[in-house]
Structure 1
Amino acid sequence: MLQEVRIKKLNEKAMIPTYGSEFAAGADLYACIEKTAVIQPGETVLIQTGLAMEIPVGYAGFIYARSGLASKKGLAPANKVGVVDADYRGEIMVALHNHGISAQEVEHGERIAQMVIAPFLTAQFIETEELQDTVRGEGGFGSTGTK
């Protein structure tokens, strides 16, 4: 299913997100930076994409790590999953964190993360005195409790 998402280039050198294969869920986001970014071990650096988006109402852009970048360079979004809301019109940036033990470089045009556009539900939270019982109940916080 295709969902139209309007994109504005904030920098003429910005690259439109691309999908790596026909059935890829995430579209690759590209660095749009003037000079090579060096990310030291344990450091987080905001990497610009040069893009702003108009994500449709009822959807959000979820920014995930690229498996290759994470496994080869130890670079992944600092917040694990970034969320771009439908009403945000600023530049999409990725806070890349270096989880490795050596400095890593990010070049202009390098794929830095992937974005999945997905629908979501807005919850109406209702306070109550009782919750419905389940087989699991309160057991297994942090795991399902199975062995």
Structure 2
Amino acid sequence: MSYNVQIKKVSTEIEFDLPKKMTTSASGYDLIAAITSPLALQPGESILVSSGIAISMPNNLEAQVRPRSGLAFKHGITVLNSPGTIDADYRGEIKVLLINHSKEEFIIQPKDRIAQLVFQAIPDVELIQVDELTVTERGSGGFGHTGFKS
């Protein structure tokens, strides 16, 4: 199934390409840092970074801002509210909330790939209030109930 998503450049301070997939089978579109000068991200610090774009998508889609595995693995940089949800009715600039989990300062350069944007279909769901739920073998067991051992 294919969806049309409109995209608009909202940053005029820097010239950049629109998000794209790095391979045809990739699920995420790379978001860049639409900044004009480097940003220092200190250990333990979080920062909101502009992507330079806004989108308009159908009501049955959401966009998720997710970390880039290379940044997380090599530098301890990840998306703090991962995945960050962008609702279909949001029209503002997409910004990425990055956090530095490493012990070293990390410098974000203009146009660095900082996150990825993944689109997800959202089904229509009707919540129905009931007095009792169906019974399962698991029941209300959670947080490691099915096999986690400390």
TM-score if structure 2 supplies the norm length?
A: 0.91
Q: Which residue of 2 aligns with 1:50?
A: 52
Task: Tell whether 2:46 aligns with 1:16.
Answer: no
Deviation digits for residues 7-57 of structure 1 (CA, Å, limit 9, x no counterpart): 111124243111011100111001100110100011111110111101221
Equivalent-residue separation in structure 2 for 1:102 and 1:40 (angstroms): 7
Aligned-residue offset at 1:77:
0.7
RMSD: 1.5
Q: Which residue of 1 aligns with 2:92?
A: 90
- The correspondence for 1:26, drawn from 25, 28, 39, is 28
Q: Which residue of 2 aligns with 1:77?
A: 79
Q: Which residue of 1 aligns with 2:146?
A: 145
* Alignment check: 8 A CA contact 1:28 1:115 kept: yes
Q: Name structure 2 gaps, 5 residues minimum.
A: none
Equivalent runs, 1:88-127 vs 2, <5 Å: 88-127=90-129
Aligned-residue offset at 1:122:
4.3
Q: Which residue of 2 aligns with 1:66?
A: 68
Q: Name structure 1 gaps, 5 residues minimum.
A: none
Q: Secondary structure at the match of 1:134?
A: coil
Q: Which runs of 4+ in 1 moved over 3 A?
A: none
* Alignment check: 8 A CA contact 1:14 1:51 kept: no
* Alignment check: 8 A CA contact 1:14 1:49 kept: no
Q: Secondary structure at the match of 1:57?
A: coil
Equivalent-residue separation in structure 2 for 1:92 and 1:43 (angstroms): 20
Amino acid at match of 2:71: L
Amino acid at match of 1:143: G
